[in-house]
Amino acid sequence: QKEVEQDPGPLSVPEGAIVSLNCTYSNSAFQYFMWYRQYSRKGPELLMYTYSSGNKEDGRFTAQVDKSSKYISLFIRDSQPSDSATYLCAVQGGSEKLVFGKGTKLTVNP
């Protein structure tokens, strides 16, 4: 079983749509959860960091963690063409390394 599973998409939505991105993880030792945005051939840019179950909101972005189901989500409200990128979930716990999902490629069409 892979440590982190993420649907690679691609996902295409119209501008203004609500986007839902998801990951599942297998190891309950993971206690820290991050979402990164990555533009083509660029470095991952940190969007959200959380360590507790529940929701965390930052502007148009909401990160949701359900530790009982080992399920994490990122919601993007009022999506914009500039949100078009690959979104990576990452988990951490029990060691220093981040374990990444494969990434979901999102396109927001004007």
Partner 1 sequence: EPEVTQTPSHQVTQMGQEVILRCVPISNHLYFYWYRQILGQKVEFLVSFYNNEISEKSEIFDDQFSVERPDGSNFTLKIRSTKLEDSAMYFCASCPQPNTEAFFGQGTRLTVV
Q: How far apart are CA 1 and CA 52, in angstroms?
A: 24
| Of 17 and 50, CB closest to partner 1 | 50
| Of 11 and 98, CB closest to partner 1 | 98
Does 33 interact with partner 1 (rule: CB under 8 A)? no
Distances (CA, A) of 6 to 15, 35, 78, 86, 93: 23, 12, 22, 11, 18
Which of 19, 21, 23, 34 forms a contact with partner 1 (CB under 8 A)?
34
Of 77, 73, 89, nearest in space to 35 by CA: 89
Dihedral of CA atoms 20, 2, 49, 46 in degrees, nearest 10, equals -80
In the window 85-104, what residues touch partner 1 (CB under 8 A)? 88, 90, 92-93, 95-103
Does 43 interact with partner 1 (rule: CB under 8 A)? yes
Chain residues that interact with partner 1, rule: CB under 8 A: 31-32, 34, 36, 41-46, 49, 51, 88, 90, 92-93, 95-103
